[in-house]
Chain A
Amino acid sequence: MKDKHRGLALFTTLVFIFLLGPLVIIIGTSFGDSSVLKFPPEGFSLKWYKNIFEVDMFMETFKVTMGVALLGNLIALLLGVPAAYALSRGQFRGKEFLNSIFISPILIPGVVMGFTMLKFLVVQFNLPIYTSLLIGHIVLMLPFIIRVIGSSLSNFDYAVEEAAMSLGASRLKTFFTVVLPNIRSGLIAGVLLAFLESFNNVDISVFMTGPGVSTLPIQMLTYVENYFDPTIAAISVLLMVLTGLLMVMIERLMGLSYFTNK
């Protein structure tokens, strides 16, 4: 098996170099001395990192972004998981149609969605900015939750659920003790993707921010409108470190193979 995959391994390595190479540059420049992106960086300095904490808005918007991504994710899970479950377990007409409805938010250009939501949520329904932002992000996250979790659900043998029920577990109990642990990898992948989608979103957030409510990507964008120094590279690096730590933590908590069953 091993030699047969050697070509593939090489290919994969190259793809990863392609994927990660730019990140190395970002990491490099974030420690550079110069205020322009240079690689290899000249000098060494932590001033860009210091700068992050000097600009209040970075921390404030970071909090908002995290809040929206986490709270939104939670709500998207509450809405999405039952739907994904019904879609994968139920046999009914119009299932395909519902399926496509649930992924439709991916298909609409971000600006249009953002603008539409501004028009309806903020202007028409007169919802508070933060609520609108949250709703916008939930809409954004739902398809990821439903798609990813749905596909791992459909790969999970229904007989196992029946076994649990025959042993006396209610549907809800079955879901939490048997289904959930087994779709863990899909769940984590879905949550992660949705989280990233929300965390990086600009298109929708741009319309849903207002006085005192803004998100980190918007703040970063605003920042580059005016400066281009490696501060945002430094932020990216911090985010990567944060995520890395988070993943290591998940791994520690949930065992070695949190991404994959078996």
Chain B
Amino acid sequence: MKKVHLWLLLLPGLLFLTIFMIIPIFMTIGSTFYHEGEFTVDGYVKLLSDPYMLKILGTTLQVSFVTTLVCILLGFPTAYYISKTKARTKGILLMLALFPLLTSAIVRSFSWMVILGKNGLVNQFLLGIGLIDDPLKILYTPTAMMIGMIHLFLPLMIISLVGVMENIDGDLLQASESLGASRWKGFMSIIVPLCVPGLIVGSILVFVGSLTAYTTPQLLGGKQRVIATFLYQNAMTLNDWYMASVIATVMIVITFIIIGLMNRLARKLNPKG
């Protein structure tokens, strides 16, 4: 294709994004270095020199990582199974996987309260079969928060993965088996690396999603705070958009670093991905 044609195709979208997102975002980021008319990095210093903030940041990252990891662990086999089914079943399963996305995050969080609460289904069940004597405290713990987020983001992971898995030549797994790989080993050394592009997209969606999620942690988590809490507090309650932008910039930078690391890891798994 001619270069001119290429650019003609790219330009509308590119211009649109540049004008309506990239420039504004850069100006917002830029504004974090100018406070009251002067160049400053005070916001960053304040944020990053505060051990408490760093701790929250750490916890948030940890939660996001665990969420992403669990989504991968749950999503991968599921997506693989879906990709192996016949076209019709595949359609139905994908549709079912998409269904949770139709329900607002709040409603979903509330339904998890019904499940995880003291009088919730899980406790009723465990009490019923006599496994426990006192209801377990699950709701309002980091675990509940993560369960909620996994439920929120798992469909995105599944869909991203099914997309790439469908296009993997079935002979490859057989080739690896004929060379002596067990099903598991073949899966790990062939299918997993080849899924890397989907894995990356899925992980980015889940990771960024859980990094910035606010409602679900608020509803399902207990007193645990996440970095998004501060972003919201500064933005919405305190109306301190300077600090909010600083936090956001830090979050964006973290996201880019994480994605960079993920890409690096991915390249190790699959240099062609």
Contacts and interface: CB of A to CB of B under 8 A. Distances in A.
B21 A113 contact: yes
Contacts of A39: 111, 114-115, 121
B80 interface: yes
A225 B204 CA distance: 31
Contacts of A21: 115
B96 interface: yes
A111 B244 contact: yes
Interface string A83-127: 101110110100000100111111111111101110111000000
B130 interface: no
Nearest to A140: B21
Contact of A22 (B8, B90, B115): B115
A189 interface: yes
A196 B112 CA distance: 21
Interface string A62-97: 000000000000000011101101110110100000
Interface in B237-254: 241, 244-245, 248, 251-252
A90 B81 CA distance: 33
Contacts of B17: 101-102, 104-105, 139, 142
B25 A119 contact: no
B252 A109 contact: yes
A151 B197 contact: yes
Given A111-B231, A139-B17, A142-B13, A196 B102 contact: yes
Contacts of B248: 108-109, 111-112
A200 B24 contact: no
Contacts of B151: 18-19, 22
A19 B100 contact: yes
A251 B89 CA distance: 12
B166 interface: yes
A8 B77 contact: yes
A23 B99 contact: yes
B59 interface: no
B178 interface: no
Contacts of A228: 110
Contact of B10 (A25, A82, A258): A82
Contacts of A135: 20
B218 to A, nearest CB: 12
A61 B32 CA distance: 35
Contacts of B9: 82-83, 85-86
Nearest to A239: B102
A10 B225 CA distance: 36
A99 to B, nearest CB: 11
Interface in A223-262: 224, 228, 232-233, 236, 239-240, 243-244, 247, 251, 256-260, 262
A217 B105 CA distance: 9
Interface in A1-47: 4-5, 8-9, 11-12, 15-16, 18-23, 25-26, 29, 37-39
Contacts of B115: 21-22, 25, 39
Contact of B99 (A136, A171, A240, A256): A240
**A-B residue pairs, 5 tightest by C-beta:** A257-B87, A112-B248, A82-B9, A86-B9, A83-B13
Interface of A: 4-5, 8-9, 11-12, 15-16, 18-23, 25-26, 29, 37-39, 78-80, 82-83, 85-87, 89-90, 92, 98, 101-113, 115-117, 119-121, 135-136, 138-139, 142, 146-148, 151-152, 155, 171, 186, 189, 192-193, 196, 199-200, 202-203, 217, 220-221, 224, 228, 232-233, 236, 239-240, 243-244, 247, 251, 256-260, 262
Interface of B: 1, 3, 5-10, 12-14, 16-17, 20-25, 27-28, 74-75, 77-78, 80-82, 84, 87-88, 90-91, 93-108, 110-115, 121, 151, 154-156, 159, 163-164, 166-167, 183, 197-198, 201, 204-205, 208, 211-212, 214-215, 228, 231-232, 235-236, 241, 244-245, 248, 251-252, 255-256, 259
